[in-house]
Structure 1
Amino acid sequence: MIAKSAADLINKQKEHFLISADQVANVFEKNHLDHAFLVLTKIGYSKIPVLDKDQHFKGLISLSMITESMLGLNGIDPSNLSQRQVCEVMQKDVPVITDNDSLEEVLHLLVDQPFLVVVDSENIFKGIITRRELMKAINYMVHELDKKYEVNLRENLS
């Protein structure tokens, strides 16, 4: 359980956690892999969300997933990228969160993920929370904690 004082200070930064959907590069599940390859290459991110035409979150696509689909018996063959769709190679088993998830749950998930996808109750993509944004809030908390709260150290006597 997160100490209330720490959670209060981190949550003061909560409005900065979410990078909204309109600011996050994404592709559609029916896009061809050559399009996803170009998007990923141009933006410089290793992984981006995949949506359907109604903005429902479907999964994540990465350069490595696309590259894996180009590997053949005789080396790399990019010729099939224009025939294959993103939905054929994307990662579908992705942890997602909602606005109702606790700070503790977000922190646990971000240990293993560089970012978390945020969806609403109907799985509409709302944006992402990055490890970087949460680390900025934690940085704020560790610098402000003893200014806002009286901190009492207890020694473990066991």
Structure 2
Amino acid sequence: MNVPHEMFRSVSIEDLLVKSDKVAHVQVGNNLEHALLVLTKTGYTAVPVLDPHYKLCGLVSTTLILDSILGLERIEFERLEERKVESVMRQDVPRMKVRERMDRALELMINHPFVCVESESGVFEGILTRSLMLKHVQKETILKQLNKK
């Protein structure tokens, strides 16, 4: 990707990161009813799934949950309580390490609204959102235009 490097020279992934304690998530072992409640209450379409050591295991989404309870003739809501998050979560998560280059984050965000960020040891650090990246680009563009005047 050919991104103007000056836009990201002064910023790191940590600078734009939504820290893990501010990110809605569910735990491996939670049932689908709990996950659907988290998704509905937050208004998000997907949230990270973490293990007891806060390592990223996958993502669960409203679509994955609803697909898992669709029967042939009806939605089987009773399955929400019996099925676990890990039975439906996506494991191919857009992720990167906290020290990686910002241009890699941009590449991942072409197809994903957010990227999960991990420490070098795999602990979930937070998310980098497309929205925050675009706000940064907009701010840098405005600053660049003001400096030209």
TM-score, normalised to structure 1's length? 0.86
> 1:13·1:137 contact (CA, 8 Å) conserved in 2?
no
Structure 1 gaps of 5+ residues are: 151-158
Matches within 5 A, 1:32-71: 32-71=31-70
> 2:13·2:98 contact (CA, 8 Å) conserved in 1?
no
Q: Rate the CA distance shift 1:7–1:148 in 2: closer, same or farther, 3 A.
A: farther
Cα distance in 2, alignment partners of residues 149 and 14 from structure 1: 27
Aligned residues: 148
Cα distance in 2, alignment partners of residues 125 and 24 from structure 1: 10
Provide runs of 4+ in structure 1 moved above 6 Å: none
TM-score, normalised to structure 2's length? 0.91
> 1:5·1:145 contact (CA, 8 Å) conserved in 2?
no
How far the C-alpha of 1:2 sits from its partner, in A, is 3.3
Cα distance in 1, alignment partners of residues 122 and 63 from structure 2: 25
State the percentage of identical aligned residues.
33
Cα RMSD of the aligned pairs, angstroms, is 1.9
Cα distance in 2, alignment partners of residues 98 and 149 from structure 1: 35
- Name the residue aligned to 2:122: 123
> 2:13·2:102 contact (CA, 8 Å) conserved in 1?
no
- Secondary structure of the 2:127 match is strand
Structure 2 gaps of 5+ residues are: none
How far the C-alpha of 1:98 sits from its partner, in A, is 1.2
> 1:66·1:89 contact (CA, 8 Å) conserved in 2?
yes
